[in-house]
Structure 1
Amino acid sequence: MSRPYVLAETNWKHLKNESIELAILPWAATEAHNYHLPYSTDTIEGTAIAEESAKIAWEQGAKVMVLPTIPFGVNTGQSDIYLDMNLNPSTQLSILKDLITVLDRQGVHKLMILNSHGGNNFKSIIRELSLLFSNMFICFTFWPAMLDRKHYFDIPGDHADEMETSLLLHLAPELVLPKKDWGSGAEKKNKIKAFREGWAWTERPWSKISEDTGVGDPSMASKEKGERFFKAVCEKMGQLFIDIAQADTNDLYE
């Protein structure tokens, strides 16, 4: 049975008389995730979170629509990691400009980019697009930063770590290799103090910071942790979908 809030599944019979308040565009990446997780990890996570959150919002009356996930992201620091696919930020801008042109023309004036990849950064792109499309409300979220992970996981990390491994054990366990094949996810830190402290930034050359492409020890991951975290993320994200769909974007501040 098709889900009316998922564009790839719904149909013209349903949509020709529908009025959508908020479009959600999951944006992911195709890249190595340690030894044991699939290249599609970010896409699986972002798509599942978008669709489950939209279900929550739709069932509470919010007219939301999940667009097909963009499976490629900014991977400029991983050019020597085999088949890690890259879209430049300028390409992302062009894609978004074309898609927003469609939404704006058809009266869908709210767009959320649901970001599922740490290498994507949409702030400057949204600043530029907001000048071009004055009728549009454009925002993005980064779901890995939504919740305090200490309440769900034992070991901190940020790529193919305990959190992501737990999510994939919940969402797509058939794509996760046996635990004996998991890498340690050990990360080498920048020798310059300012970069380690986070108030200066330079791109991390991935093959120099990690032997297995992971950053964060996945060894404590479990399906149960992933299911609990997924549910909490979707409940919070679903409420955000509702809030944006129902908001008067010309009257957001008090």
Structure 2
Amino acid sequence: MYLADLCWQEAGKVLSDPETIVVIPVGSTEQHGCVGPLGTDWMIPDEFCRRISGMDHIVIAPTIPYGVATHHINFPGTIDLGIETMIKVMGAVFESLFRHGARRFVVMNGHGGNDPAIEKAALEIYRRGGLVALIDWWGIAPKLNPAWPTGHGDAQETAAVMAFRPDLIKPEYLLDNVVPAPTKNLKPVHINTVLFEGAPVKIIREIRDTVNTGGFGGLESKMATREWGVAMMDGMTKWIEDFINEYRSVKLPEKDWE
């Protein structure tokens, strides 16, 4: 069920039910390589939530389409809340729902830049007696199948969007990645991450100075197929359902830290 579809009387009953898990889809509005839509990071979590919305004792909160997109701001259309604002947004969402009885939350996240803010807000609500699970789908997918490698604005995310909104992928904008190495001994592997003598280190730069398309880290977008996306979205949906069923048995914190 969707929280937005309920009247306040219905919401009161649902949120105060100890069996209820509130799922919050979160993403970002930012560049996603040469062919990915700006809404990639919130559209994919939104789609996962649509797929699990019929599960018992699950309520889907409205999707949060903005996030921490500081590194992407030089690409047109990107909207950056910044980390401090994102902490406040997530904290306010958790606190509001907690006030009305919700104790278990799952954040269906589509953007790695959001993680520190979500984790900070989640720890605060834990200290109140709530519990938050953070699902970063792109990092889980390669564990289910190594043929689904992750990156930013690359083939993995492009394939995922192809599974449910293929019309948003526009091949006429497809470009090959040009990834200049900072030095001959520093090998770029993901946006600001390079390898030096086999070890990863970050050199913080504007993304436009690291890759011409804005997408890098896995396979290039031209490698994406709808078949890959369908299989990956289906596999991830099954994993999410199984995780949520297991998560129900995790004990809530016994102490109210206030």
Q: Which residue of 2 aligns with 1:207?
A: 208
Aligned AA (2:120): I
TM-score if structure 1 supplies the norm length?
Answer: 0.82
Query: Is the deviation greater in 188-197 or in 101-110?
Result: 188-197
- Determine helix, strand or coil for the equivalent of 1:99: helix
Instruction: Indicate conservation of the 8 Å contact 1:8/1:67, yes or no.
Output: yes
Output the CA distance in 2 between the equivalents of 1:190 and 1:128: 37
Q: Which residue of 2 aligns with 1:129?
A: 124
* Residues 1:77 and 2:71 are matched in the alignment: yes
- Determine helix, strand or coil for the equivalent of 1:147: helix
Q: Which residue of 1 aligns with 2:157?
A: 164
Aligned with residue 7 of structure 1, among 3, 6, 11: 3
Q: What residue ranges of structure 1 are gaps of 5+ in the alignment?
A: none
* Residues 1:25 and 2:33 are matched in the alignment: no
Q: Which residue of 2 aligns with 1:117?
A: 111
Output the CA distance in 1 between the equivalents of 2:252 and 2:144: 34
Aligned with residue 179 of structure 2, among 187, 198, 202: 187
Query: Is the deviation greater in 39-48 or in 79-88?
Result: 79-88
Higher relative contact order (CA 8 A, sep 6+): 1
Q: Which residue of 1 aligns with 2:233?
A: 230
- Determine helix, strand or coil for the equivalent of 1:158: coil
- Determine helix, strand or coil for the equivalent of 2:176: coil
Deviations 1:138-186 (A, max 9, x none): 23121101132693647x4512211111111111111111x34212234
How far residue 92 of structure 1 moved from its aligned partner, in angstroms, is 1.3
Output the CA distance in 2 between the equivalents of 1:151 and 1:186: 27
Instruction: Indicate conservation of the 8 Å contact 2:22/2:105, yes or no.
Output: yes
Instruction: Indicate conservation of the 8 Å contact 1:21/1:245, yes or no.
Output: no
- Determine helix, strand or coil for the equivalent of 1:219: helix
Aligned AA (2:175): G
Deviations 1:89-127 (A, max 9, x none): 111111122222222211111122221012222365146
Aligned AA (2:100): Q
- Determine helix, strand or coil for the equivalent of 1:236: helix
TM-score if structure 2 supplies the norm length?
Answer: 0.81
Q: Which residue of 1 aligns with 2:251?
A: 248
Output the CA distance in 1 between the equivalents of 2:25 and 2:101: 20
How far residue 200 of structure 1 moved from its aligned partner, in angstroms, is 3.5
Aligned AA (2:212): E
Instruction: Indicate conservation of the 8 Å contact 2:86/2:114, yes or no.
Output: no
Cα gap change, 1:149/1:218 in structure 2, threshold over 3 Å: closer, same or farther? farther
- How many aligned positions are there? 239
Identity %: 17
Aligned with residue 146 of structure 1, among 140, 146, 149: 140
- Determine helix, strand or coil for the equivalent of 1:8: helix
Instruction: Indicate conservation of the 8 Å contact 1:184/1:214, yes or no.
Output: no
Instruction: Indicate conservation of the 8 Å contact 1:111/1:139, yes or no.
Output: yes
Instruction: Indicate conservation of the 8 Å contact 1:73/1:86, yes or no.
Output: yes
Cα gap change, 1:117/1:185 in structure 2, threshold over 3 Å: closer, same or farther? farther
For the aligned residues, what is the CA RMSD?
2.7
Aligned with residue 100 of structure 2, among 88, 96, 106: 106
- Determine helix, strand or coil for the equivalent of 1:213: coil
Aligned AA (2:45): G
How far residue 248 of structure 1 moved from its aligned partner, in angstroms, is 2.5
Cα gap change, 1:80/1:88 in structure 2, threshold over 3 Å: closer, same or farther? same
- Determine helix, strand or coil for the equivalent of 2:214: coil
Output the CA distance in 1 between the equivalents of 2:129 and 2:248: 15
- Determine helix, strand or coil for the equivalent of 1:211: coil
